[in-house]
Amino acid sequence: MNAWIFNLLRDLVKDDLLYRILLFAIVIVISFFGSKFLAFISKKIIKPIVSKTKTDLDDKILAASGSAIYRLSFLAGIFISVEIFKDGIKSESKFLPKPLKEIYPFLDNLVAITESLLFIALIIILLVVSFRYVNVILDWYSEKIDASDNRNLSGSLFPLLKKVFKIILFALAIVIVLAKFSVDISAFVVSLGVGSLAIALAAQETLSNMISGFIIMTDRPFRIGDRIRYADNQVGDVVDIGIRSTKILDFDNNIVIIPNNEIVKSRLVNITYPNSLTRVVVDVGVAYGTDIKKVKEILLKIANEDPDCSKQMAPDVFLINFGASSLDFRLIARTDDYRNAWAMQCRLREKIYEEFNKNNIEIPFTQIVVHQSRS
C-alpha cells in the first residue's frame, strides 16, 4: 500500500529529484508532528504519573528534559529523511538514464555536510541536557544532605562539582566530534596533560587546600554551627566550610580563616558532637576543718537550682585535692546548650561565693606560716 502511494507520487511528479525532495519534506513534516505528539504525551500522561511518586527527583528530571524530547525526536526524523534521500540518490531512476548521484555530484557532498551538521546538533542537544541533569541531580542531592546533616554543601562543594562535571562533559563532547571527523586528538591530549601538570605544580598549595576541603566536607569532623577547640587551645564556632579554607568565629567576634590543609593535619575537639550537651566545671577551695558534707550539699543545691542545668545528668561534687591552704572541690554540672556554658559558670561562681558567706564557709587564700627561732 505504502509503495503504491510512493509510486503514484513519483509518477505524478515525473521528476526524480523533485520526488526525492518531496519525500524528504514529507518525512520531516511527519517527524515534526510525531515529536509534538511525544511532547504532548510527556506533558499530559507521563508528568501526572511522575508527580505522584514520593520523591521529586523524577519531576525535576522530567522538567529538565523540557523541549529536549521534542528536539531529539524531531532530529531523529531529520536523520531518517536524510538517510532516505541518501539511498534515493544512489538508486536507479526510471525517469533518468543513471542515478541522481552521478548526474548531480554535489548532492553527495550536500548529504555529507547535512549529516555532519545533524551530528553536531545532536551532540549539542545531548550536552545541554546533560548539563541540566547535572544541575538537577546535584542540587537535589545537596538539598537532601543539607537538610538532614547541615553540611552546607550546596554553597561550597557542589558548585565546584557542577563545574568539574560540565568541563568533563564538554571535553568529552569535543573529543567525540573530533573523532567523528577523523581528527587526530593525540597532540591535544598530550598538551592537555602537560598543561594540567604545570597547573598542578604552580597551584600545589591551593590544590592541597581543595583536597582537604573535600575531605572535611565528606568526613565531617565538624559542621556549620559547631563549636570546636583548635590550635593552641582556641575555641570558636564554625561559620563556613569552603573549598580553600574554613572560617571560625571566635569569642572576640572576629573571623579566623584557617587553610583546610592545616585543619586536616591538626588535632581538633568538637565540643558539640555528638550533641550539644556540655560539661560545666567549677573548682573551689575551702578552709581545712570545714564540714565536707555541708560543702557538697550547698554546691549540689546551687547547681540544681541553676536554670541552665541539664536534667539529663545530675550534677556531682568531688573532693579532688588536699591543697597547700585548702580542701579543693570540683563541681561538675551539664547544660543542654554549649552556648550557655560560660554564663552558667559565672552564675555558679557568684552563687557559691554568696552561699559560702551565708554559711560561714571560708574560701582561703594562700598562706605561708613562718616560724621564728627563739635562739
DSSP state of 310: -
Q: What is the pLDDT of residue 284?
A: 94
Q: Grid coordinates in use for 189?
A: 591530549
Note the pTM of the prediction, 2 decimals: 0.55
Q: What is the pLDDT of residue 13?
A: 56
Tell me which residue of 217, 244, 245, 246 sits closest to 153, measured CA to CA.
217
Q: How many residues does the chain have?
A: 375
b/e sequence 302-333, b meaning 16+ C-beta within 10 Å: bbeebebbbeeeebebeeeeeeeebbebebbb
Q: What is the pLDDT of residue 251?
A: 83
Report how far residue 352's alpha carbon sits from residue 284's, in angstroms, rounded to the nearest whole number: 9
Q: CA distances (Å), 47 to each of 39, 131, 138, 174, 344, in order?
A: 11, 21, 21, 33, 56
Q: What is the pLDDT of residue 69?
A: 73
Report how far residue 171's alpha carbon sits from residue 175's, in angstroms, rounded to the nearest whole number: 6
Place of cell 596533560: 193
Q: What is the pLDDT of residue 320?
A: 93
Report how far residue 347's alpha carbon sits from residue 331's, in angstroms, rounded to the nearest whole number: 13
Q: What is the pLDDT of residues 235-285, one digit of tens each?
A: 888 888 877 888 899 888 899 998 888 888 888 888 887 777 888 999 999
Question: Domains in the chain and their CATH numbers?
Answer: 2-151+162-179 (no CATH), 216-270 (2.30.30.60), 278-358 (3.30.70.100)
**For the chain, which ranges sit under pLDDT 70?**
1-20, 50, 57-58, 85, 87-107, 144-158, 160, 185, 187-189, 191-192, 196, 199-203, 367-369, 375
Report how far residue 183's alpha carbon sits from residue 161's, in angstroms, rounded to the nearest whole number: 30
**360 — alpha (psi -120 to 50), left (phi > 0) or beta?**
left
Alpha helices in 150-254 (DSSP H): 157-180, 186-202, 204-219
Place of cell 525526536: 73
Q: What is the pLDDT of residue 1?
A: 40
